[in-house]
Chain A
Amino acid sequence: MFKTFSEFSKTNFKKIGVIFLNKTAFIGFIIILTITLMGILAPLIACDPYEADISERLQPPSLKHLFGTDELGRDIFARIAHGAKTTLLLALTISLLSMIIGSIIGAISGYYGGKIDDLLGRIIDTFLAIPEFVLNIALVGVLSAAYSDSILNIVVAIVLTNWVTYARVTRGIVMSIKEREFILCTKALGAGDSWILFKHIIPNAISPIIVLATLNMGSVVMTVASLGFLGLGIQPPTPEWGQMLNSGKNYITTAPWIMFFPGFFIAISILGFNMLGEGLRDVLEKRNIKY
């Protein structure tokens, strides 16, 4: 167990090197790195994703258009690359927000126990009882009727359902840690609750939360793409993979590349996050057992 956050950081960052020895994590890392670089470098490596050229519509993949063109003659590679930025930024934002909110609520619930735990536990159970994606659809529907910012609507809708997983995991970990001797010693030395929570308990719970966040990024990518496919996600003309998949479905028999490439990148990025998450779990959690 780590006694302070700085101790945690030193130990955990050393492990990052170990990730590269883990084959699964390494492949996952490379996939995510490639997609991230594609997103970051999109303005340099791809043309304008909004530029429509009707004379070039529905062109198959070629040297001029690597992934072909869509129904408005826009370059699909450019839209995929710019879409990567949108999708990854959304996944990162949603996962981070969910992690922060969920971890804090879970930690409070687990640490204080009693009525607070009962109340927060029931809230968590209520959220878990409703299928997450159905709730996402309902929330996006309600929010988009009131607010026109589709990105903000998606972030709020997914975070509102996604924090629960983090809260449940964190609560369990905190409940087990708070009974350990070093916490009791800290208490005996007169440390306050927030000091104990943020200096001693959360640093020790962070490894499984990071693993969870990495795995969760994949599912967030899936949720964002699914909402986009249903027309509830990011609205055109902003390039987004799920929405691209949707716009290509009418052409599945005549121009299958419009659907293939967004579909492929959705699948590969989810695979990447899952592999990275699995690898991180192997590296971080198995090692933690030794402590």
Chain B
Amino acid sequence: MIEEKSITRREFMKYVAVGCAVAMGTSFLGCMKKEDVVKQEIQKNIYRDEFILGYGKDHKLKGGKWGIGFFPKTHILERLVEYDLKRDEYIPSLAEKWVLENDGKAIVFELKKGIKFSDGEEFNAEAVKFSVEWLKQNHPLGKETFEGAEVIDEHTVLINYKEAKFLNLAKMAEFHMGIMSPNSVSPAGDPKGKFVYPIGTGPFKVVDYKEEQYAVYEPNPYWYERMGIKPKFKRFIVKIIKDEDTRVMALRSGEVDAISDYSHGGSDYTPRNMLDVLKREGFKVYKRIIPLTWIVAFNYEKEPFNDVKIREIVDLSVNRDEIVKIFDNQVLPAKTLFIEEAPGIREANRIYKYDPEVARALAEELGIKGTKASMIIEREQGDQILVGQLIQQQLKNVGIDVELNVLESGAYKERRDSGDYDMRIYYIGGTDRRFYLRMFWRFHPKTKWKVYVSERTGELCDRILTEYDKNKRKHYLIEFYKAVYEEHGVVPLYFDIMTVVASQKVDVEYGELFRYAEPMFHSVGVRI
């Protein structure tokens, strides 16, 4: 009996030991990072060799007026700095650190060491000098920004700018300011040379390209090595599918593994009202809010909207909560000028209200009932046509009779440029990196794409874009938001998002996908 009992105890102890081992093993697996699991999966060869993406814009890998497309600008090239919107700070990318010189008219960048372009060439100060000279020669933004560049030593470069402005640094994080290898042109290193194809330090290198049809990339091994991650595919194929509905159909049919919004933001995106439908159909929907605000822009230099009171009526009449319902609440109603992460927005505390009663009373007081106003919208902007129709109804309720003109892009531009309109639906801001540049493009007196400029807002905008000191800049930003609010310069409608919709087979790490505001596809993999 005793013997039997001791055997039972021994057995019991054995079971306990096995149980503990299993529990520890399970908890160990649970504690493993996702990347480690992924690495194991790669070893098991669970990912397909190809990842196919549907995208709405050509990648312009042969170049164009504004250089290559926005997608390769983020996936092939890297910039000296990146922008952190939440902290309103510029953070190192290819540059380790930087120092302002000549009151901010020049910046000395100290470059990171040991970085290689995808063709194996070293990234150094000569490459930065070449890129700056190339942009100065060939790019509209480079022409208006750079004076030139000087190599101080192999990893230090001084860039001279045309004006002493904070915007100089802000522009360095811009899409267009990617650093190219001097071998990207022929003869190599000649800023006046012929552009061949982009060679950068970013995650991908170009393998094949057919204009308006496809672009094929391969992982840049130097980038992956530097980041300490492994690619989950051998080839990355981007199919250019211009029509948004066709892109969705391509995803549904399995022709592509995922579809993505245009990196630029604001156009060629997956229809917002399709996101919920696609999610219900079993697709994975990833989205990130960006500081891009859709607005009603006024022709504020002519009647009736040269009157701040009439602009206020429109402002109070627009029900933003209703507008976002058109998009199944996938976007957020814009009750402030920009998203709350934008610098100074919380502190400015200017909330755009919907108050039709006050709007009606104001309309009666001003005797503007029955006022006619035209609103122009581009035919290609399907979502904005819907928004325009809803705003038309909302303004009708306060006595403003909006004539909606949906126009072909040529006719739209003609009417916009000639000032033959009263209102239009447009956007301010962009992806994070464009926050300050778009502020210049939309609110500065010297820009041609302005949506609203008054003496007060114009001066504040100029100060914001000049001021290097973060705290002072924030102060000007707050004053600027208050001024736009008080003058009802624009009517914010909703905050846009950046989306990627993928099939169930696509593994996505959200943090890597939206490392920046534009989707980055270096970490995705398609399970077999």
Interface residues, chain A, with chain B CB atoms under 8 Å away: 50-52, 54, 57, 71-72, 141, 144-148, 150, 231, 235-237, 247, 249-251, 253-254
Closest-CB distance, B79 to chain A (whole angstroms): 36
Q: Which residues of A contact B325 (CB under 8 A)?
A: 54, 57
A72's partner among B280, B389, B410, B411 (CB-CB below 8 A) is: B389
Measured as residues with beta carbon below 8 angstroms from the partner, the interface class of chain B is 20 to 34
**B17 touches A (CB below 8 Å):** no
Docked pose: A236 CA to B273 CA in angstroms: 18
**B91 touches A (CB below 8 Å):** no
A236's partner among B393, B406, B411, B415 (CB-CB below 8 A) is: B406
A250's partner among B271, B393, B408 (CB-CB below 8 A) is: B271
- Given contacts A57-B325, A251-B277, are A52 and B389 in contact (CB under 8 A)? yes
- Given contacts A54-B325, A72-B326, are A237 and B277 in contact (CB under 8 A)? no
- Given contacts A57-B325, A237-B392, A253-B277, are A144 and B385 in contact (CB under 8 A)? no
* CB pair B277 A254 closer than 8 Å: yes
* CB pair B389 A250 closer than 8 Å: no
B411's partner among A50, A71, A145, A231 (CB-CB below 8 A) is: A145
Docked pose: A236 CA to B274 CA in angstroms: 20
**B390 touches A (CB below 8 Å):** yes
Interface residues, chain B, with chain A CB atoms under 8 Å away: 245, 271, 273-274, 277, 280-281, 322, 325-326, 379, 382, 385-386, 388-390, 392-393, 404-408, 410-411, 415
24 residue pairs from A and B, CB less than 8 Å apart: A50-B389, A50-B392, A50-B393, A51-B393, A52-B389, A52-B393, A54-B326, A57-B325, A57-B326, A71-B273, A71-B326, A72-B326, A72-B386, A72-B393, A144-B411, A145-B411, A146-B410, A148-B405, A235-B379, A236-B388, A250-B245, A250-B274, A251-B273, A254-B277
* CB pair B408 A52 closer than 8 Å: no
Q: Which residues of A contact B386 (CB under 8 A)?
A: 71-72, 247
Closest 6 CB pairs of A and B: A235-B406, A145-B410, A144-B408, A54-B322, A52-B393, A237-B389
Docked pose: A249 CA to B389 CA in angstroms: 18
For the complex with contacts A72-B386, A236-B385, A253-B277, 10 further pairs of A-B residues with Cβ separation under 8 Å are A52-B389, A57-B325, A72-B393, A144-B411, A146-B410, A147-B411, A148-B407, A250-B274, A250-B277, A254-B277
Docked pose: A15 CA to B382 CA in angstroms: 49
Docked pose: A118 CA to B325 CA in angstroms: 61
* CB pair A146 B411 closer than 8 Å: yes
**Majority secondary structure of chain A interface residues (helix, strand, loop or mixed):** loop
Docked pose: A77 CA to B408 CA in angstroms: 29
Q: In chain B, what residue has the closest Cβ to A144?
A: B408
Q: Which residues of B contact A144 (CB under 8 A)?
A: 379, 407-408, 411
* CB pair A141 B389 closer than 8 Å: no
Docked pose: A144 CA to B414 CA in angstroms: 12
- Report which residue of A71, A247, A249 has the largest number of chain B beta carbons within 10 angstroms of its beta carbon: A71
Q: Which residues of A contact B410 (CB under 8 A)?
A: 145-146
Q: Which residues of B contact A235 (CB under 8 A)?
A: 379, 404-406
Q: Which residues of B contact A247 (CB under 8 A)?
A: 386
Closest-CB distance, A53 to chain B (whole angstroms): 9
Q: In chain B, what residue has the closest Cβ to A52?
A: B393
Closest-CB distance, A98 to chain B (whole angstroms): 24
Q: Which residues of A contact B273 (CB under 8 A)?
A: 71, 250-251
Q: In chain B, what residue has the closest Cβ to A153?
A: B408
Closest-CB distance, B174 to chain A (whole angstroms): 32
* CB pair A253 B392 closer than 8 Å: no
